[in-house]
Amino acid sequence: MEVRRFFLHVRNHPRAVALVPTHAISDPNGSFISIAIHKGRADDDSGGVRVKITTESIAASLQYYSPLDIDAVYGCAGILDYQGDTFIFFATRCQPVCNLTELNASAGSRSVFRLTQAISLSLTDPFFDMQACRRASGGGVLDDPIQGDIDLYGVTSPCAQMLTFLESGAFFFSPHFDITRTAQSQRLRAIATDEPGVFDPDPKFLWNSNILQVFTDFRLHMCGTAEREAFDTAGYAIYLIQGAVDSFYAGSNDAPLTMYLISRSSSMRSGMRFLTRGVDDEGGVANEVETEVIIVTRSLTFSHVQIRGSVPAFWTQEGLQIGSHRVHITRSAKATMPATQRHFADLLGRYKRVNAINLLKQNGSSGTYDGSDNGAGVPEASLGQFYQSMITAMGLPSSIIAYTGFDYHYEVKGGNFDRVGGLIRQIGPLLSSYRYYLADNESDVILSLQRGVQRTNCLDCLDRTNVVQSVLSRAVLSEFMRQNDIVPRSALSAVMDGIGQLWRANGNAISRSYAGTGALKSDVTTSGKSGWAGFLSDASKSLSRLMQNNFQDKGKQSVIDTLLGSGDSGLVSRPVLLYDPYEREIAADLRRELERVSRKDSIHVLLCTYNLHGNPYRGEPLGSWLVMSRSVRPDIVAIGFQEVVNLDVQSVIAADTANRRIWEQVLTAEINAQYRKAFGSKADGEYALVSSEQLVGVAL
């Protein structure tokens, strides 16, 4: 299957951008799509930008458009309203990475491409057209490529940072298959769906879902499967994953074998290392990555999936981070449980069974940990204990969610990295029972399904996690090859070396996206050993991480939030909605129906504020301040502090949170005491800390 490409044409009065398929440009019966902002009546209360997509005839309408001096593009990556203008993004250059069906031609092409260059065009103004043309050609002002986002008048494109992020080398797409899903998921959906030829990307791993929503809605408005399939086949929209894709050829001419590794980063809670930790209320966790190893021979297709992700609790690392592994747990076990349950519910829905492998330190503390924090933070061992207690509290049998603790640093102390093999022996029965996906290429019969997943975490889910996941992958692949006689025993070593190289590249890619540098201990991932060269490389990467994480990550986080429509992106971006000519006709009826079937509830909020003058809690009685009325029970208690720290240079630079942490515990206890005092036997449940934020001396 060929890769579809498009010529870009624009119309300025009124402004519109057209995608014209290259194969249809000379076809009098051909068609193209036109994208423009709909400027209708001003009674739209959505607060968003309405975009109109129409299918037009080349013979009748293309004459009203002018071609841009840009080589044919690969498709549209989405539409974003940003800083008062609306921009549409296109993939202009890409790099072929691999073809997953190279040894299985009967399955059709499954090529994967890395996005290497993108451009943006305004849907309101031709001002940036020349800038986009210059960027696409690789040149800038006076042929200086560094200036590709600056026009002759020194004006920088508002989308410059977004385009740089998309061109980071971490984004991949395929025009031929749904790259957001594993081989097993694709196969099972093809069996169950009524629309086998229609793309249905997984929103969890689709990174441009937010800016591609207009195209998604446009497809939903189409009449029937055939029309949607034709739209997908045309390739107007590209579906991006962030992560890593790589391949390695092994075997012989008589028995060829190709190995692929695909990592898909979750878009649910994405961001940079020290700015995005733990879990959110929807159950998304930081640095959650699904990694799939695929092996294809002439007769078989094998797939095995692992996942990584931050500890699903509410925790942070604050202040200037210089090798510190002390963390702050910001919610109690009771307040954390709903989010932890949502996280594991998602995993069980996808993978059926989960083994949670925790690589955090386990020495230095004993017993259980309830999440209390005295303001100075707790060691990572306490975070691990809190995690284990949350899994236990969910009350699910170990056959559904198992927990495996493995103190990585203690076990490999002194360079004994081969001791990771002890973990393989410990979880061997689970690896065997979880199995892997296996299909016969000739008959298309499924021979085996993977029925469980290993979920691995350390603190960052980077270096320790990558080493352990590579060892787990080798163990599963070795057993599969032994059972199926895939390669001669003499060639097995070369295959394992290839897997090590894939995991090394994967670890570096994930680490660059989350921490800004390649992974530490990458030599261990490849060979299982480390030396002085690896030590010096790790030291250099650690220093680079320190600088980037503390001084550069906030800008990157802002770009990620804008792309995904999360965080504070609503301050600079309005929602982009599809214009539907029939929506206005039925909107009034829908509002009346909504009023009929819904109800409105009021909530009561208790607001309290106090100026601490930088003082810690000294045992003062708080009852008269936090007293509750017996007639109304507050649903939410919001407390604001001024001068929670002394406003001196030392406290401001250190971003000291110790005082706030102590007050959090004191206030939680006092609020519940006042609740029980006011309502007595009618006091069901208790208040739990949901969120706490501090900006220098102001805390909420």
Q: Is the pLDDT of residue 64 over 90?
A: yes
Q: What average pLDDT does range 78-90 have in this prediction?
A: 93
Higher pLDDT, 213 or 580: 213
Q: Is the pLDDT of residue 518 over 80?
A: no
Q: Is the pLDDT of residue 525 over 60?
A: no
Q: What average pLDDT does range 109-118 have in this prediction?
A: 93
Give the residue among 152, 161, 257 at the shortest CA–CA distance from 484.
Answer: 257
> In sequence order, what are the residues at sequence separation of 6 or more whose Cβ sits closer than 8 angstroms to the Cβ of residue 135?
117, 119, 148, 149, 163
Q: Is the pLDDT of residue 540 over 60?
A: no
Give one word for 179, left, alpha or beta, with left for phi > 0 and alpha for psi -120 to 50.
alpha
pLDDT (tens digit per residue) in 332-343:
898 899 999 999
Question: Residue 113, SS3?
Answer: strand
Query: What's the angle, vertex CA 618, arms to CA 664 and CA 690, rounded to 5?
Result: 5
- Name the DSSP class of 418: G
pLDDT (tens digit per residue) in 430-471:
999 999 999 999 998 999 999 999 999 999 999 899 999 999
What whole-number distance in Å separates Cα of residue 211 and Cα of residue 563? Answer: 7
Q: Is the pLDDT of residue 648 over 70?
A: no
Q: What is the pLDDT of residue 79?
A: 96
What whole-number distance in Å separates Cα of residue 5 and Cα of residue 19? Answer: 9
* DSSP tally for the chain: helices H, then strands E: 19, 25
Q: What is the pLDDT of residue 148?
A: 45
Q: What is the pLDDT of residue 644?
A: 78
What whole-number distance in Å separates Cα of residue 413 and Cα of residue 404? Answer: 19
Q: What is the pLDDT of residue 660?
A: 80
Label residue 600 by pLDDT band (50, 70, 90): confident
Output the six-digit token pair for 59. Answer: 């013979």
Q: Which long-range contacts (CB under 8 A, 24 or more apart) does 133-137 make?
A: 133/68, 133/69, 133/70, 135/163, 136/70, 136/71, 136/92, 136/93, 137/69, 137/70
Give the residue among 36, 78, 35, 84 at the shortest CA–CA distance from 563.
Answer: 78
3-state helix, strand, coil in the chain (%, to 5): 35, 25, 40
Q: Is the pLDDT of residue 41 over 80?
A: no
Q: What is the pLDDT of residue 141?
A: 39
Q: Is the pLDDT of residue 137 over 90?
A: no
Per the CB < 8 A criterion, the answer to whether 98 and 62 are in contact is no
Q: Is the pLDDT of residue 65 over 90?
A: yes
Q: What is the pLDDT of residue 240?
A: 97
Q: Is the pLDDT of residue 546 over 80?
A: no
CA atoms within 13 A on the CB side of 392: 11
Label residue 140 by pLDDT band (50, 70, 90): very low
Q: Is the pLDDT of residue 281 over 50?
A: yes
Label residue 592 by pLDDT band (50, 70, 90): confident
User: How much is the mean pLDDT over the chain?
Assistant: 85
Q: What is the pLDDT of residue 207?
A: 96
Q: What are phi and psi of 169, to 5 degrees?
A: 90, 5
What whole-number distance in Å separates Cα of residue 288 and Cα of residue 258? Answer: 26
Q: What is the pLDDT of residue 26?
A: 86
Label residue 472 by pLDDT band (50, 70, 90): very high
Q: What is the pLDDT of residue 223?
A: 65
Q: What percent of the chain has pLDDT over 90?
A: 46
Per the CB < 8 A criterion, the answer to whether 402 and 354 are in contact is yes
Q: What is the pLDDT of residue 669?
A: 87
Q: What is the pLDDT of residue 591?
A: 82
CA atoms within 13 A on the CB side of 132: 28
What whole-number distance in Å separates Cα of residue 304 and Cα of residue 296? Answer: 12
Q: What are phi and psi of 190, to 5 degrees?
A: -65, -35
Label residue 533 by pLDDT band (50, 70, 90): low
Q: What average pLDDT does range 367-390 have in this prediction?
A: 80
Per the CB < 8 A criterion, the answer to whether 287 and 515 are in contact is no
pLDDT (tens digit per residue) in 287-314:
999 999 999 998 999 999 999 999 999 9
Per the CB < 8 A criterion, the answer to whether 263 and 103 are in contact is no
Q: Is the pLDDT of residue 552 over 70?
A: no
What whole-number distance in Å separates Cα of residue 162 and Cα of residue 183? Answer: 31
Q: What average pLDDT does range 643-650 have in this prediction?
A: 70
| Range name among 295-304, 387-396, 559-568, 578-587 with the lowest pLDDT average | 578-587
Exposed, middle or buried: residue 124 (CB in 10 Å: 0-12, 13-18, 19+)?
middle
What whole-number distance in Å separates Cα of residue 302 and Cα of residue 90? Answer: 34
Q: What is the pLDDT of residue 284?
A: 96
Per the CB < 8 A criterion, the answer to whether 436 and 302 are in contact is yes
Identify whether 28 is preceded by a cis peptide bond (ω within 30 of 0): no
Q: What is the pLDDT of residue 147?
A: 44
| Range name among 61-75, 494-508, 525-539 with the lowest pLDDT average | 525-539
